[in-house]
Amino acid sequence: MLKALILFGLVGFVVGVEYNLCGFGLWRF
């Protein structure tokens, strides 16, 4: 349970960072 929760949080964090970087990149260029 805890392991799955940590994994889910890590994946969500990575996806969020990727989305933000792509969003800022597309907004600038």
Question: pLDDT digit of tens for each residue in the chain (29 aa)?
Answer: 899 999 999 998 988 888 877 776 666 65
Predicted local distance difference test score (pLDDT) of residue 6: 93
Predicted local distance difference test score (pLDDT) of residue 25: 64
Distance, in Å, from the CA atom of 21 to the CA atom of 6, rounded to the nearest integer, reads: 23
Task: Report which DSSP code applies to 20.
Answer: H
Distance, in Å, from the CA atom of 7 to the CA atom of 26, rounded to the nearest integer, reads: 28
Distance, in Å, from the CA atom of 12 to the CA atom of 29, rounded to the nearest integer, reads: 25
Number of domains in the chain: 1
